Each structure stands twice: as structure tokens, then as C-alpha cells.
Amino acid sequence: MGSAAAGRIWKGTQKASEHPLLDTPVAICSYISENTAPRLPALAVAAGSHVYIYRNLRPYYKFVLPAENVNTEEQEIWQKVMEGEMVMGDAVAQLTRLQDAGVVLQTRSLQLMNIGDPEAKMAFVEHWQGQPLVATTVITCMDTIKQAIDEPDAVSCLVIGTESGRVLILNPAGTAPVKNIWVGITPAMIAIQGELDVGYRITVAGRDGKLYHIRNGELQQTIIQLEAQPVGLVRLVKHVAVGCMNDVIHAYQPNGTKSWSIYLPCHILAMQRMEVTGQRMTKALLVALSNGEVRVYNEKLLVSVHTVNFPVTALWFGRYGREDNTLLTITKTGMLDIKMLPRTANLEIGALGGGPPPEQEIPLAVPKKTRLYVEQTQREREQAADMHRTFQRDLAKLRLTTARAFVKVLTDGQGAAAFTTSTNLSLSLSVAGLGPRFRLTLLLRNEGARPLLDVPVALRADPSLYALAKAQFTIPLLVPGLQYTYEVAVTAVSPEAGSDAVTVLLLAPAGSHSSAPLLQATLKMPISEPEDL
Amino acid sequence: MAALQQQQPTLNPVWLAQSRLRRRKFDECIEVCTNILDKNPYDQAVWYLKTRALTLKNWIDDLEIEEEGVADVLMDEHQVAQVPRPGTSLSRPLTSSGGSGAPSQAVRPMTGSGRPLTGFARPATSSRPTTSANGRVGTASLQQALKGSKPGTARPVTTSGRFVRLGTASLASEPGGPFIAVDRLDLRKYAARPLLARVLCDYLIYTEHNMKRALELCALATQVSEYQDWWWKSRLGKCYYQLGLLRDAERQFKSALGQGQSATSAGGAALGLGPGANGLNGGAVMISCVLELCKIYLRMDQPNTALEQYTSALAAHPGDSSLLLGIARVYDALREAEKAVSFYKNVLFHDASNVEAIACLAAHHFYTDQPEIALRYYRRLLQMGVTNAELWNNLGLCCFYASQYDMCLGCFDRALTLADDNALPDIWYNIGQTAVGIGDLALAYQAFKIAISLNPNHAEALNNLGVLEYRKGNDDSAAALFRSGQREGSHVFEVFFNGALLAYKAGDFQVSFELVNQALEAYPEHTESHELLKQLKAHFTML
């Protein structure tokens, strides 16, 4: 389908014909619609609220979705407004009341309610004057169902899901619905099993992330709640496989019990049924993944993997030309890839083998215990008491050393980061630049529970070496838990004279009874580049 | 003695200068030469001696990669591939630890450049190794580039700029201004005199660091020698390298190697007097050329080419420890630990006292769960007379993990007394680790706090302190510590993972998701991060 809403037919690599469409297509199906020979397939293209049916490359019939029921009260309101029996304000109020009561209003009513200007409201009503309020809906998905017998060239019917939450089954000619099933939620994908006259099941993946089942025209009570939004729905022989956004494919039996799950390494891009005809009649599952892999699963057994270089957007498996089993792959780049299944292909045995992963066979590289280790253990066993005593003595000494160093950190502020215990402040300094102009960055954090107000900051450096842009400033507020960044420009006055340290002092706020600084940190400045270099 | 002193004034001063130069008493030699030159400025022999003495005085071994400047990091145009294949680039070493024998990132910590910690600190091990721009380089890393490798230091603007500074510094210390007025020299005249030209060239390179003039001289001299002299070509290569013209330098060294090989096979390089100092036989020169060529390849991020060069040179000089060491370093950087270890062992076979090889082997055994063997290697270092804070610190760690508890804390004590400001934060960090190991969390807390106060950029200490705060129930300060750790070290995956876990527990899934992705960027195989990511994704897709 082209982006300019046109259907293009290709024969080989040549474009055979092009059919302009009125609307962006949402689904396309080919099916046999007549029982007369030769059985030429018809092409159904769903766009907007119509299904266009083509035969022999010519438009043949247009099916229009039947209008939905409109709430009678809403219809009356519109009638009255158009005939001038009701003032605009009342009409809007009535519509609002209806909406509050839970009635799903039509687009026209919602548009009217959204218009603010009274004149524009009148003009809007005038625009629709004389046209009755109808509920239109659009098609969201489409598939086919065989009518009586399950054969490749048997007559089938179209099955359509609509935005209004219905599933319609049309007659083979596509002129009128033969079944109209109310699901209640917009179907996003449908999967069909069985024949219309014999017995069938339709599985509907709704927009709400649930699976609904329709059996012979009746909506079943079993509703399957998925753990993530579905991205693909495929009917298999006994199961319905649903791929979800959390990279899992679940397979459900018709009665709603889950049979198996496949956990995939990355996102699912597309899923499709693979119905192999020929000697082996296999129904397998095709999955395109975001890492470029296209996998084939027979039940839950992975039977084949191949890689496509670009993300796959769509897959189709079926008859192409004279070849029965062909896989068409469309990538996001617009590439169409055609692969044919070899007649000797075996889809019964796993490609990547089941069973334990190969890593299980490789022993872990555990280094051997050396003789040295044994000797040392021996020594440990013999002199355990001595070793313990020495260790405890050393530990006590180390604790003392550490505690001293820690106290020094708390009191002296010799390093570029400092903390206090009393006010729970932390300050860390860093310097950027090559010189002679540096930027000193102060990172301040109040880790206490109470905010601090008006904290004076003083910077100290050798004036013969460094010129500070500001030697002191006041921080108005330090809220707990936030990181504050302050920058001070520092200029090296004479780069040749060497480097020194800059000390930053956080003083106690005014009014406190102590004059000792809260915090002090020192940063050793790097050697400055000369000015003229 | 008295007789000698009387005789001394009669000694020929030129001979005295020569003797002093031979005995490496450069200052005294320069003094004598200056006196003679004052009397006779045109004495070429004395001029030669003084130039030589000055050069040797300021000689530095420039075979190691020096720290790169800001401009070299940011304005890099020698990059070969934007996204190199794993194993072909130093910035993208083999990701999986399986098979290569290297311990995983969770066991062996990383340096700031995203490479495993080596056992031996060289200028290039802690900083970014090559010119190739990996993911870290970009606008976001401008700050990173401006930051020096040590806390509180800034990077030089350019490598050559730093050499220029070194040059001016060495000249400023000379009384009476520079010895040779470089800008006024007629290089063409010197180029015609091979011996003088050689000393002048080395003087320009090692004392003046005036690469442009040196390059001119080399070019002229190469012309005079009709492109047949490998020595000039190697000097030309050195000049190009320091000017940042790596491709030109590569060409010169390659050409020099080709010529050098023919000269050696023709019966040894005749220029024994060549002032190259390492030019006494063809072999040594060849090795230095190979080493410089490989240095260029490593700068250009072509480790495999460097390996080829080293290996082919080894065929000519089997058992040369500098070549073997070069190979081992490259394998180490590529995270092919088993190969690196075998080469380090090979180095020790030929040179049993090679400090670097011993230290690297020790580190390897330490991180592969054999601390008792690491202990042996470190003890060997100690016996060889290496005493520094780092060694004692490593000994302490080895003792602790080999459960030789009686010696462990004593080692740390010694390390603390020996340490300078650069080593102290790491030692306190390791004390903290030990304290965590014995379960003394209060001690660990204090040690980590000290480490951070000494080096506020210590991401690992910030991370561990954050974990301790979290255990105390102070989630807010833990989160703050993780945040500052994340700002400081993009190579420490633990900070990101812990931050992500904390955010996840607090219900902040978006932040958690971002952090866990950053953790996986730093360590793509981290299982716990993958688990967390899976849980987060489940949360995001859950209905």
C-alpha cells in the first residue's frame, strides 16, 4: 500500500497496476467469493468505514458499514435544536447531562460542546441543518472465514472489526452482514478458526489488553486478561498465540487455559501464521523480532531462525506464483523480501536444539588451590591464637588511627571535601580550568533535617598568588537534601610563582552563639599555565 | 691527594670536561665548558661537550606514552573506525571475560578510561589510552577531558605545549640565558656536519623542546645524507610525533626501520659516536624505533598492528624484555589476560627483576582468587628494595584475603605512614574494604569518609559509603552519595546499579531505568542489572 492511499499490484518486480484509494487502508484480504469456476479470488481493501472489493483488477463493490444506533434522547435534542425549538444553552446542558450519565455521544455532539463562541455554535448547527444524526464508525481489522469447507479455494466470508466494538461477518458476496456481534470493546486484532456453517471460534484482542472469544456467533464468558498489551494474534491448530509487549508469546486453548509461553530476548515486531501445504501440512508461527531475527515456531519448538538486516514491519506466508510456501517480509526501510521454503525443509525438529544450554557443559574456571595455600592454612591452624591476638591488637591500633584521622577531617578541613556532625553539612570543592583563570566550584549539601538561613561563606587564599572574584558571600538558604553549586572565579596573579591552596570556610549564621566556622575545606590549586601561551 | 690538587690546574680542561661527561657529572662538565667557551667561543669540541652535557642532563625517556593534553583528546583526527570491532581497539576490548582468562569487571575494578586496573601504574594506564573516540568522548566529556588524572590537577592543553613548558623551565634555570640561540642558527650549515648536527638535534629535542627547529634540522640533514641515514629518520619521526602528526611519524619510523635493518645486516651501524646515546649498536636502536612506532600505533588505536610490529622485532631480538613487555601491555589492555600473563612470565624469564612484570603478575593472581601467590610476588618486590605506599597497601590486601591476619593491618599501617596525598585516598578506601570484610561497619564508614575528604572524586568510596548509609536506613544521603559517585566516575558500574536499585525501591522507575542502562553501558554483562532491567520492563509493560 502506498502512502498516497493507492493500491499497487506488482507482478514480479514490475508494477502491474495502480488503484487510487479514497482513504488510508487499514486491512487487505483476498478471498474466493463465488462458487462458480474459475474461482478467481476477490481483493477486499478496508479503508475508513468502507470495504472496497476488487475483482479482475477492477472495483466491483463497495460495502458500507451499517450505521450504529444513536441514543434517542441525543437524536431528539439535535432535532429540536435544528428546528429551533430548543435554545443552544439548553441543548448543550442536556448533552452534558447525557454525557455525565454515561452515554457515549456522537462526534458531532462532542464538537458542538467544544465550541466556545455562541455564534460559531450557531454556525455549526446551521452547517448540519437537515442532516439526521447518524453514528458512523470505522474498520479496525479484517480477516476471512471459510464458509463451509476448509479448502484453499473454498468460498469464504469477510470478518470485520469496528471501532464501535462490533464484529461483523459478511455474506460471501460482501453485500450485507450475516452476523453482527457486539463485543463492547474495539477489536484490535482478530483470529478465526473453523467454518461459518460448521462451527467457528473468533478470538478478538481488544484495545483494553483482553482476549474475547466468540463461538458460533455468541460472545463467550471467558475473558483472558493479558499482562501487557498484545502486539500480535495468530491462530494455530489447537491454540491461539498472542504476542505481548513484554516480549512473551502466550498460547491459549479455546476454553481459555494457557498451554505454553515463549519468552523472547527482545521486542516482537510482527507475527504471522505459517501454513505449509504440500507433503507436510504444518501450521507454524512466524515471529519477527526487533534484533532482526525472524523465527519459526512449531508449537513451542523453535524450528528455524534467519536474520533480516532491518526492522520487519509485516510478514505474510502463503502461495506466491507457482510456489506454495513463500514468506514475504516487508522491512521498515521499504524492502520486500521473498523467501521460499525448500521442499526438504523439516519443520518438526528443533533448529537450535532443546535441552540444557551449552554453558552447562563448560566447567567454571575455579583456580586450583595451590600448595602455598595449603601451607598457609596449616600455619593458620597452628598459630591461630597468636594470629588472632596480633590481629586484634593491630585492629585496635587501626581503629585509633582511623578515629584520629576522622576527627581531623571533621575539625581541620584539610581536604577538598568536609563534613560536620553538628549541622550535617557537606562541602566539596573542585577546580576547573588551565589557568591563569580558574573556576572554583563549591558543592554544598545540607544533610540535616532543618534548613539553614544566611550562611556566610569566606574564601581565603594568598593574595600575592590568587585574586578571588569574591572573597565572601552569603548563602540565603540551604534546604535539606538539595545540592547547591556555587562558582567563584579565581585568577592566578603570577603564574610563574607557583601554586598554593584555597581555603573555604562556612561560618556560623548570624545570631548563633559560636564564632567558630561550621566547616572548612582546602583545595590545592593546580599549577597555572602562563597567560600568554 | 695534595699532589693531585697541585696537578689539577695543569689538567687539560677539555679532557677534564670529557671525563666528567663520561662520569655523568653534567653540572661540573657544563661549568668547565662554559669557562672555556668564555675564552674561546668557537671551540667546536667544547661546544660539542657542553651541548651533550646539557642534553643528557635534561634527558627523559620518552618511550612511554605520556599523558595526553586536552586538545589531543578533544580534537582528535587520527581515529580509524567510529565503531571498531571488539578486540581490534583499546577502547573496545573483548567484552566477555569468558575464554580470555581475565576476571570479570565485578572482580577487577576499572580505571577511569574503562579499562581494567593494571598492576603497574604508567602514565597511560589511568588516563585515556588512545586517540580513538569511544562513547565517552563528546561534549559531555569536556569536563572529563579538562579534569586531570589526579585530583585537583588540570590536564595540560596539549602534550607538545607541556614539552614547550618543560623547555622554557630548563632554559630559565640556566644562568645567562639559553646556551644556543636557536632562532639565529643557520641550520643548513650544521646539517652539513653530521656529528655536530646530531648533538644539536638532540639538544633541540630534549633541552629546548623546540620541535619545529629540530624538524627543520632533521629534514635538512636527511637530505644531506641522501635519505640513507636511519638515525635522522627516527629523529624526524620523533619530531613529527611530538607535533602530533602521527601518520608522518609512522612513515618516518617505518622508513628508518627498513634502512636500519639493512645497515645492521651490512655489519653494524657505523655511527657508534652518534649522540643518540642508545645508538651503540644497531640492535638497541632498532628496538627503540620499534617501541616508538608501536607507541604511535597505540595512540592511533591499532593494537593489533602494534602487536605485529613487536612480534616481528622479537624475531630479530629474541628475549628482549622491553618488546615482551610491550606485547604483554597490549594484551593486558585488550583484556586477554592469559596471553598477557604468559608474556609477563616470559619477561621474568629473561629479566628476573622486572618490577612491572612482577607487579602485573601479582595483580593478576590477586584478582583471580590466588592472593597467596600475589603475596609471594609482592614479597619479591619488597626484597628487591621497592618500598612504597602502594606496595604495602597491596601486601596488606593480599595478607587479608590470604587470611594471614597477623600481618595484614601492619602493612596498612606502614602504607599510611609512607603515603603521599595521591595514594592516601586509595589506602583509606582499602582499609574501609577490609573493615567491611571483618564486619566493622563503623570503622569502614570512617575510613570511606576519610577517603572522600582526601579525594572528593573517589567514586568507589562514594559508592561504598552510600551502601553503608543505605544499611543505616538513610536512603536520602545514600542516594545523594550515589549521585555524586555517578558524577565522578562513569566507569564504576556499581554506583549506577546501586542508584538504580535505590530508585527502584523508592518506586522511581524512570530514574531507575536510566541508571540501570548507564550501569549496563559501563558493564554490559552485569547480571543483576539485567535482572533489574527485566523487572523494570515488566513494570512498564504491565497493564
- pLDDT tens digits for range B312-365: 888 888 888 999 999 998 888 887 888 999 999 999 999 999 999 999 999 999
Contact list in B for residue A530 (CB cut-off 8 A) is 165
Contact list in B for residue A380 (CB cut-off 8 A) is 403-404
Contact list in A for residue B379 (CB cut-off 8 A) is none
Q: Examine the pLDDT at B107 and tell me if it is beyond 80.
A: no
Coil/strand/helix, residue B439: coil
**Residue A189: which pLDDT band, with cuts at 50, 70 and 90?**
very high
Query: Shortest CB distance from B154 goes to which of A373, A391, A433?
Result: A433
Q: How far is B410 from chain A (nearest CA, A)?
A: 7
- Kindly tell me the burial class for residue A61, based on how many C-beta atoms sit within 10 Å of its own C-beta (0-12, 13-18, 19 or more): middle
Contact across the interface for B456 and A429, Cβ inside 8 Å: yes
A residues 136-175 closer than 8 Å to B (CB): none
Contact across the interface for B413 and A394, Cβ inside 8 Å: yes
CA triple A226-A229-A232, angle to 5 deg:
95
**Residue A203: which pLDDT band, with cuts at 50, 70 and 90?**
very high
Contact list in A for residue B152 (CB cut-off 8 A) is 416, 430-431, 523-526
Query: Shortest CB distance from B446 goes to which of A228, A402, A483?
Result: A402
pLDDT value, residue B176: 62
Range among A89-98, B117-126, B213-222 with highest mean pLDDT value = B213-222
pLDDT value, residue A429: 84
A267 near B CB under 8 A: no
Mean pLDDT of the residues in chain B: 80
**Residue B266: which pLDDT band, with cuts at 50, 70 and 90?**
very low
Cell output for B107 = 572482580
Name the segment(s) of chain A with CATH classification 2.130.10.10.
Answer: 226-349
A residues 368-387 closer than 8 Å to B (CB): 370, 372-373, 376-377, 379-380, 383, 386-387
**Closest CA in chain B for residue A426:** B453
Q: Helices in A256-383 by DSSP H: which ranges? A: 371-382
Q: A67 Cβ partners below 8 Å, 6+ apart?
A: A134, A135, A136
Contact across the interface for A402 and B447, Cβ inside 8 Å: yes
**Closest CA in chain B for residue A523:** B152
Peptide bond into A436 cis (omega under 30): yes
- Which run of H or of E encompasses A324? strand A323-331
Cell output for A144 = 476471512
pLDDT value, residue A205: 93
pLDDT value, residue B69: 64
**Residue A524: which pLDDT band, with cuts at 50, 70 and 90?**
confident
Contact across the interface for B450 and A405, Cβ inside 8 Å: yes
How many interchain CB pairs under 8 A, A with B?
150
Q: Examine the pLDDT at B436 and tell me if it is beyond 90.
A: yes
CATH code for the structural domain at B7-61+157-346: 1.25.40.10
Residue A474's CB: how many other CB atoms inside 10 A?
12
The CA distance from A409 to B447, in Å, is 11
A10 near B CB under 8 A: no
pLDDT digits (tens, 9 = 90+) for A263-280: 988 889 999 988 888 767
Contact across the interface for B146 and A526, Cβ inside 8 Å: no
The CA distance from B537 to A1, in Å, is 34
Q: Examine the pLDDT at B204 and tell me if it is beyond 80.
A: yes
Query: Shortest CB distance from A372 goes to which of B373, B409, B455?
Result: B373
Contact list in B for residue A430 (CB cut-off 8 A) is 152, 456-457
Sheet with A452-460, strands from edge to edge, namely A472-478, A452-460, A501-506, A519-524
Q: Which one has a higher pLDDT value, A324 or B73?
A: A324
Contact across the interface for A402 and B154, Cβ inside 8 Å: no
Query: Shortest CB distance from B151 goes to which of A394, A414, A416?
Result: A416
- Mean pLDDT along residues B475-490: 84
Contact across the interface for A523 and B152, Cβ inside 8 Å: yes
Contact A70, A80 (CB under 8 A): no
Contact across the interface for B413 and A397, Cβ inside 8 Å: yes
Does ipTM come in above 0.85?
Answer: no
Tell how strand A6-11 and strand A14-20 pair up.
Answer: antiparallel
pLDDT value, residue A72: 81
Q: How far is A428 from chain B (nearest CA, A)?
A: 6
The CA distance from A28 to A193, in Å, is 19
Domain range A417-524, its CATH number among 2.60.40.10, 3.60.40.10, 3.20.20.140, 3.40.50.1400: 2.60.40.10
pLDDT value, residue A350: 62
Query: Shortest CB distance from A428 goes to which of B70, B438, B456?
Result: B456
A360 near B CB under 8 A: no
Domain boundaries, chain B: 7-61+157-346
Contact B543, A227 (CB under 8 A): yes
Name the segment(s) of chain A with CATH classification 2.60.40.10.
Answer: 417-524
Coil/strand/helix, residue B451: helix
Contact list in B for residue A524 (CB cut-off 8 A) is 152, 421
Q: Examine the pLDDT at A415 and tell me if it is beyond 70.
A: no
The CA distance from B107 to B366, in Å, is 10
- Mean pLDDT along residues A193-202: 89
Contact across the interface for A386 and B406, Cβ inside 8 Å: yes
Mean pLDDT of the residues in chain A: 84
**Residue A141: which pLDDT band, with cuts at 50, 70 and 90?**
very high
Cell output for A251 = 498460547
A519 near B CB under 8 A: no
**Residue B115: which pLDDT band, with cuts at 50, 70 and 90?**
low
Q: A36 Cβ partners below 8 Å, 6+ apart?
A: none
* Fold of domain A226-349: Methylamine Dehydrogenase; Chain H (2.130.10)
Q: Which one has a higher pLDDT value, A220 or A132?
A: A220
The CA distance from B341 to B338, in Å, is 5
Q: Which one has a higher pLDDT value, B305 or A519?
A: B305
Residue A525's CB: how many other CB atoms inside 10 A?
24
Q: A162 Cβ partners below 8 Å, 6+ apart?
A: A65, A137, A138, A139, A140, A168, A186, A187
**Closest CA in chain B for residue A207:** B543
